[in-house]
Amino acid sequence: MTKIGIPHMETDNKNKPITDIQEGYPRRRFLLIVGWASFLFFSLLAGLLTMVDFFKPKVLFGPSNKFKAGYPDEYPAGKVSTRWMKDKGVWIVRTDRGIYAFLAICRHLGCIVGWVEEERLFKCPCHGSNYNLEGDVVGGPAPKPLFRLGVSFAMDGQLVIDKSVKEDRVGIREKGQYFLPV
């Protein structure tokens, strides 16, 4: 005997009345389950994504990442300037070739690192990481060198430090936007 698509037309079901959708019509039942399940799934997904987007701050309060740091002449060669240390957490270093800037955040666990002129080292007060004038680790637990920041000139000839532009890779950090020949 060949099966026919609609169950109530089959001979063996002749005397059994179809009472509810779960007994016969497996295709309808399947579509019903798939329909409701996908509706529920996408509703929950949309709700979840909305919540994630809700908790993402759209406005950030606080100072700008970019700031003007005065004219290059204000930084004598061979010196590490601690002028922007307190306000911005940035050192500006001038060598005989040019100017570059460090972010004063230790690469170990994020403490503010201090410049010790006598030893010519950046030293972290928390766990004793030491960095040399290149920003490379010479002691302590820090796994990576200090970040160098983007330096450029403003229209009025002042230095502009951009704390959102950071680089610590050797070969890249010494040139381009991270080094300003003066």
Partner 1 sequence: MIKRLKRFAEWLVRTQIWSSIFRQGWPDTERNRILTTINTLVFHLHPIKVKSHGIKVKYTFCLGGISFFLFIVETITGVLLMFYYRPTVEYAYQDMKDLEFAVTFGLFLRNMHRWAAHGMVLTVIIHMCRVFYTGSYKPPREYNWCVGVSLLVLTLLLSFTGYLLPWDQLAYWAVTVGTNMAKATPVLGAEGPFHVLSEMTDICFYLRGSVDISENTLLRFYVLHCIALPLAAVGLMGIHFWRVRKDGGISGPL
**CB 40: neighbour CB atoms within 10 A?**
10
What's the closest the beta carbon of residue 83 comes to partner 1, in angstroms?
A: 29
Query: Is residue 56 near partner 1 by the rule CB under 8 A?
Result: yes
Exposure b/e, 50-79, CB count within 10 A at least 16 = b = eeeeeeeeeeeeeeeeebebeebeebeeee
Of the candidate residues 2, 12, 19, 59, the single one contacting partner 1 (CB under 8 A) = 59
Q: Is residue 62 part of the contact set for partner 1 (CB under 8 A)? A: no
Select the residue interacting with partner 1 from 58, 64, 73, 76 (CB under 8 A). 58
Q: Which stretch binds partner 1 (CB under 8 A): 37-45, 53-61, 74-82, 133-141?
A: 53-61
Subset of 141-180 contacting partner 1 (CB under 8 A) = none
Stretch that binds partner 1, among 50-58, 82-90, 141-149, 163-171 (CB under 8 A): 50-58
Quick check: 12 binds partner 1 (CB under 8 A)?
Answer: no
| Interface residue with partner 1, options 55, 64, 96, 143 (CB under 8 A) | 55
- The least distance separating partner 1 from the CB of residue 58, rounded to whole angstroms, comes to 4
Q: How many CB atoms lie within 10 A of CB 178?
A: 20
Footprint on this chain of partner 1 (rule: CB under 8 A): 22, 50, 53-56, 58-59
